[in-house]
Amino acid sequence: MEQVQLNSNVFTILEDKIKMIKKGNEVIYLVGPIKLPVNLDGKTVEFKWYSWLKSDRETKDFQRVIDQLTSLNLAEYQQSSVLVYGDFEYGENALIRMHSICHTGDIFGSKRCDCGFQLKQSMKMVSEHGVGAVFYLANHEGRGIGLFNKAIAYLLQENGYDTVEANEELGFTDDLRNYDEAIEVLKALRAKPVTLITNNPKKLKALKEAGLPVIGRTPLWGDISEYNEKYLQTKIRKSEHMA
Ligand SMILES: [Zn+2]
């Protein structure tokens, strides 16, 4: 592997912007904040953006961190990130959304689910509230089954299976999502209490049990159509989602 020797200017730029978070035998390298102006319904809203990478190699030597990056083929894997708004470290009552990646909903605007709507809406809610963060969780596609399996599950859904049944037919438990990394990142960015934007009381409970300082929940429904009616009903009926 070719070693890239960091010049002192590059080192100075990165030094305060890469943080190492320790968790058991693993570490999370968090990079940011990075200015990210976003177009929200024609209005420019400035978020601060962070991305993170989990690793089993612990080092505070940036030269070693950078040396590893060229050989990791990171484009082959999705990384998670978080958009932060306002005085996130010290601001009172931050609104938090833990958004699971949805290739079809977030990128293509698919109406088979409500993810694209929820993503944009939660970004708006956070910026209007004044303090908050939207976590974008990359290993959560199809409730954690992956994009290719989601495509197969969609075919089953086109033939009468609901979301939960389709995943179970393919040998997956209904919900494989894990929030551990996001919680560690949140704790590194903020120690004060948060209100979670979710319709899912199970998620609220899981996050509280994992040590997240959650004091409340704000629901998020909308964009209901003939295409996602059954999907949303299944969320309420089988996954105990509520308004
Ligand atoms: Zn979706």
| Model confidence band, residue 129 (pLDDT cutoffs 50, 70, 90) | very high
- Tell me the residue range of the domain where 123 lies: 78-238
Ligand 1 centre and the CA of 169: distance in Å? Answer: 19
CA–centroid distance, 238 to ligand 1, in Å, is: 17
Round to whole Å and give the CA distance between 162 and 143.
14
Report how far ligand 1's centroid is from the alpha carbon of 22 (Å). 31
Per-residue pLDDT of 175-212, as tens digits, reads 778 888 999 999 999 999 999 999 888 788 888 888 88
Is residue 38 included in any domain, yes or no?
no
Please report whether residue 175 resides in a domain: yes
Q: Ligand 1 centre from 104 Cα, in Å? A: 6
- Distance from Cα 122 to the centre of ligand 1, integer Å: 14
Indicate the SS3 state at residue 34. Answer: strand
| CATH of residue 214 | 3.40.50.10990
For residue 99, being part of any structural domain is answered with: yes
Instruction: Answer yes or no: is 85 within a domain.
Output: yes
Counting the structural domains of the chain, the total is 1
State the burial class of residue 61 (Cβ atoms within 10 Å of its Cβ: 0-12, 13-18, 19+). Answer: exposed
pTM score, two decimals? 0.89
The pLDDT tens digits for 216-234 are 999 987 767 777 777 777 7
State the catalytic residues: 175, 177
- DSSP symbols for 50-92: EEEEEES-----HHHHHHHHTTS-GGGS---EEEEESSTTT-S
Helix axes 62-69, 8-15, angle to 10 degrees: 100
- What are the Cα distances from residue 145, in Å, to 98, 101, 141, 194? 17, 11, 6, 28
Which residues, chain by chain, have CB under 5 Å from ion ligand 1? 102, 105, 113, 115
